[in-house]
Amino acid sequence: MSKRDYYTVLDVPRTATEADIKKAYRRLAMKLHPDRNPDDKGSEEKFKEAKEAYEVLTDEQKRATYDRFGHEGLQGARGGHGGFGGGDAFGDVFGDVFGDIFGGGRRSRSQVFRGADLRYELELTLEQAVFGDSVNIEFTSLGECETCKGTGGGPNSKTVTCETCEGVGQVRMRQGILSMQQACPRCRGRGQTLTEPCDSCLGQGRVRRKRTLNVKVPAGVDNGDRIRLSGEGEAGRNGGPAGDLYVEVHVKEHAIFERDASHLSCEVPISFATAALGGSVEVPTLEGNVALKIPSETQSGRSFRLKEKGVKPVRGGATGDLFCRVVVETPVKLTDEQRALLRAFEDSVQKSDKTHSPRERTWLDGVKRFFENIAN
């Protein structure tokens, strides 16, 4: 019995792309599969015919031979791996059609896995974050086994074809009428197994161990910034590349300064006399003390700005400022003489026209209006 033209079987033109062929094949497979047509020999034969056409037209070499010589040119290729009629027909169909979605297709011989990324939380002082530093960190990760150099095999081990997947690296999992592919659980996608696993890593090729790594902290980093160390994460599998290590910065609370992006702020206590009469006080900066001029009649809570005494941002830009908020400190543990002097000073202020305490006067006026409004 003569065979029908493969393009006619799939109802596609000779110029059809591989995607067009897959689409047509999927439509026919869903329609003709024996599970959907029990006891229908005609549908089964058409299904096998469509499968044979699909396997030829999606193989670049076979398609070229067929286009040139027809069915006769393929006679020598029938003895190849699997032929046209062996195996799970429906599984072969969807293993090829959906290969890119469910795991790379049945022609894939192995699977290479990149190592996992790791995260490390690094606690820094404010000075380290502002000026930068070199810090040693210690962490645990999966690294390449030093005994077997990542192969997973012992000294006398041999590599053999995996019996579960027959060297393909993948196995099919049936769910109803669909067949999906996944990495072989025995060889983990390699397609090969070892006759003698490594004693150190038990055939895994990786072992968990402690590592010490030096991290260069750039100047100006802040809370939440991440430093990426390429290739310092967990080792890959099946020869895959290592993952990355992300070092997340956390800046410890400082005894004096508070940071807001590139700006710093701090409180500066001053005496009652300095606040009233003015003067100069020394204030700290990250680069040393500087003199801050306090004008007379300074109120508690007033802020003074010291330009470019903040932080140079790690991503560039202008250096921030330092904001100094003065806090008038009430004297404590007074002597009798000091108490007497303060009472005399207070009496002197009370006898004046009360212009010495403008905030108190404004506040008292507000309280008075409040109670007058209630009364009315």
pLDDT, greater one: 150 or 99: 150
Q: Is residue 86 part of a domain?
A: yes
Query: Considering 217, 251, 285, which residue would you say is the last residue of a domain?
Result: 251
Query: Is the same domain home to 89 and 123?
Result: no
- The better pLDDT of the pair 84, 261 is held by 261
Helix/strand/coil (H, E, C) string of the chain? CCCCCHHHHHCCCCCCCHHHHHHHHHHHHHHHCCCCCCCCHHHHHHHHHHHHHHHHHCCHHHHHHHHHHHHHHHHHHCCCCCCCCCCCHHHHHHHHHCHHHHCCCCCCCCCCECCCCEEEEEEECHHHHHHCEEEEEEEEEEEECCCCCCCCECCCCCEEECCCCCCCCEEEEEECCEEEEEECCCCCCCCEEECCECCCCCCCCEEEEEEEEEEEECCCCCCCCEEEECCCCCCCECCCCCCCEEEEEEECCCCCCEEECCEEEEEEEEEHHHHHHCEEEEEEECCEEEEEEECCCCCCCCEEEECCCCCCCCCCCCCCCEEEEEEEECCCCCCHHHHHHHHHHHHHHHCCCCCCCHHHHHHHHHHHHHHHHHHC
292 has a pLDDT exceeding 80: yes
Quote the number of domains for the chain: 4
Q: How do residues 302-353 score in pLDDT, each as one tens digit?
A: 999 999 999 999 988 999 999 999 999 998 899 999 999 989 988 887 777 6
Question: Does one domain contain both 130 and 47?
Answer: no
Condensed to tens digits (0 to 9), the pLDDT of residues 199-222 reads: 888 888 889 989 999 999 999 999
| Total-model pTM | 0.58
Domain end (from 251, 269, 287): 251
Same domain, 126 and 54: no
Q: Tell me: do 302 and 341 sit in the same domain.
A: no
Q: Which domain holds residue 307?
A: 258-329
pLDDT reported for residue 1: 53
Tell me what the mean pLDDT of segment 233-258 comes to.
91
Q: Are residues 263 and 243 in the same domain?
A: no
